[in-house]
Structure 1
């Protein structure tokens, strides 16, 4: 990356949107579930994908160490992103997408940048051991647009509102596909990645209920509530629902 033409000498295409993809605890650059999202962006063809692999610093069984490590990882990542900007990466066409602890890495990274990212998409940002305060976790000040997808709020995922807009999928706490899973909470936590991978393709965007302060404790929508969004890239208008439904 020290050569001024490094970025242009790669397969990077200036006309495409840029995705910085950050996995969560116990992940890696080629592990599930983040590999599903990586492959979806690549298959779409409209994105340059930069995959951050911090797996060596976030391996089981020591979740405590992984939480401790997200701050230095974020600081290091910010240096890389600022170097990419000097090489031609446009901030207004760059999104940091993080799952679980990776969502907080996106937010903490932003604290070290000398510019603002266009967007952060936080996929069920991790709750356990995450302290309050914007220097310890993701918040709405970390990018021009911070969008959050909740799928296991209150257990593995944050229970309260975190971004400019927070989507509670199927109520935001437990996902219906996980009923037969031996760990329904972990399964629900992982599904945030799958929902975003689905939303990348036109015609397959799940529909979700925008949260107010917290994800609801049930999956009922108050009568008359409107405000459905295509989470991830554009906020549109339609009826709100808590089931994930293809358009």
Structure 2
């Protein structure tokens, strides 16, 4: 699963134009430290290397001097600088995503991209040693950033992107610099050894002027809770679609959910995902359709995941800590087609049930089951649902719907819908679809052609 996702992302990158070929061939590249299991068994002593990439050398790293950053001609201190900080490396191998993340970051704007290579220190079968090394690596990186500042760089133009254990390392750097770093992005911050940590002992909102966090594995290797100015929770922040559910799947069972945070961030950088986060108190409220309008963010839309969330920085800082939820598919481009569904029922008797909806576009269709709980249908009551589909079919020519009642042995009661309305959430340019006065039987599909909603609706 992980390698398939990575290959797909590489394929998307190859479609992009304007990729540089690096510096002159006469100058050798400085590569990420690639270790093996032997190093992990014996243990590694901390050694931090800083590898610079820019638009002119997106494939060829240049190792920077810790004491004199500006001695490297390619390092322009007037540009913004993004630091990429990996996490625990139990096998010593280089992260499979590191090169792609560097290249995609270089495409966003003209900036310095620095890979913080602390593989010697992170590569160790003893996780506790790697955790202890984060503080030492943070002091090393802090000193480098102070040297940058002394040579003319601005702290508010520094962006630290930390993965797993690297997210806490980034937080330590930010704390060392009194929260004056411009931004920290935490991709599924590590949970083990940090679940009971104080704010001073882990990533927290005070570590930078703006902190955004993505959660994908809170029930295992990731950290539960909220730790940024905005925390995104993909599929609730724990189990991810498409990831193995049993230990018999081998390594993927342990790392798939945790590493999904990186792949979602990569996809957002490539502008192929556009994953919208809906601010909400809880995942259950989000699934119930209670948080789909983003009133606090008007006239702007809901905040998106990824590099561009900085557009919402001022609003988010004014709101305090914000939780945002979204759902994804199992594979690229991860984005679901989401609709707000409003139903006005007239049935005489109170009924409880789950809802199944199928959308048709000619021969193609997509379907969803809204069955995370039973919904209440009673006379003259509006029921709001969030319907999320793995595929986006457009234009919608027919809709099939079924209200499934638990009792399948007794008589089928009729349910009358005075109105059903489907509002595309991610495609505001598309019209809302309606249908009026539909009679349906419990546990039976009813199919209808949707119509444009009346203007006053």
When normalised by structure 2's length, the TM-score is 0.48
Alignment deviations for residues 1-57 of structure 1 (CA, whole Å, 9 cap, x no partner): 4887x5274223456432011000008795323333223213445331011111110
* Cα root mean square deviation, aligned: 2.9
Match of 1:141 among 206, 209, 212: 206
Kindly indicate whether residue 180 of structure 2 is the aligned counterpart of residue 106 of structure 1: no
Match of 1:50 among 114, 118, 139: 114
Kindly indicate whether residue 290 of structure 2 is the aligned counterpart of residue 205 of structure 1: no
Matches of residues 114-193 of structure 1 in structure 2 within 5 Å?
116-130=180-194, 131-179=196-244, 182=250, 183-193=252-262
Q: Judge conservation of contact 2:179–2:207 (CA < 8 Å) in 1.
A: no
CA distance in 1, matches of 2:137, 2:67: 23
Partner of 1:245: 335
CA distance in 1, matches of 2:179, 2:207: 10
Alignment deviations for residues 134-189 of structure 1 (CA, whole Å, 9 cap, x no partner): 22110011011110000111210011111111001122112213248533341111
Partner of 1:69: 133
| More displaced stretch, 58-67 vs 23-32 | 23-32
SS for the counterpart of 1:178 is coil
Alignment deviations for residues 42-100 of structure 1 (CA, whole Å, 9 cap, x no partner): 34453310111111101131111101111111111111111111122222221100000
Q: Judge conservation of contact 2:215–2:222 (CA < 8 Å) in 1.
A: yes
CA distance in 2, matches of 1:206, 1:25: 27
C-alpha change, 1:14 and 1:222, in structure 2 (3 Å) is farther
Kindly indicate whether residue 305 of structure 2 is the aligned counterpart of residue 231 of structure 1: yes
C-alpha change, 1:230 and 1:177, in structure 2 (3 Å) is same
Shift of 1:202: 3.6
Which residues of structure 2 form unaligned runs of 5+?
1-64, 295-301, 316-323, 329-333, 337-425, 427-457
- Structure with the higher strand share, 1 or 2: 2
Alignment deviations for residues 98-137 of structure 1 (CA, whole Å, 9 cap, x no partner): 0000000000111211560111000000000124112211
CA distance in 1, matches of 2:161, 2:187: 7
Alignment deviations for residues 170-223 of structure 1 (CA, whole Å, 9 cap, x no partner): 2211221324853334111111111112212345322334464xx74x796232
SS for the counterpart of 1:177 is coil
C-alpha change, 1:8 and 1:65, in structure 2 (3 Å) is closer
CA distance in 2, matches of 1:159, 1:184: 19
SS for the counterpart of 2:156 is helix
SS for the counterpart of 1:176 is coil
When normalised by structure 1's length, the TM-score is 0.84
Partner of 1:12: 75
SS for the counterpart of 2:202 is coil
Larger radius of gyration: 2
Matches of residues 212-223 of structure 1 in structure 2 within 5 Å?
212=281, 216=283, 221-223=287-289
Q: Judge conservation of contact 1:33–1:190 (CA < 8 Å) in 2.
A: no
Q: Judge conservation of contact 2:278–2:326 (CA < 8 Å) in 1.
A: yes
Q: Which 4+ stretches in 1 moved above 6 angstroms?
A: none
SS for the counterpart of 1:149 is strand
Q: Judge conservation of contact 1:37–1:194 (CA < 8 Å) in 2.
A: no
Matches of residues 14-29 of structure 1 in structure 2 within 5 Å?
16-26=79-89
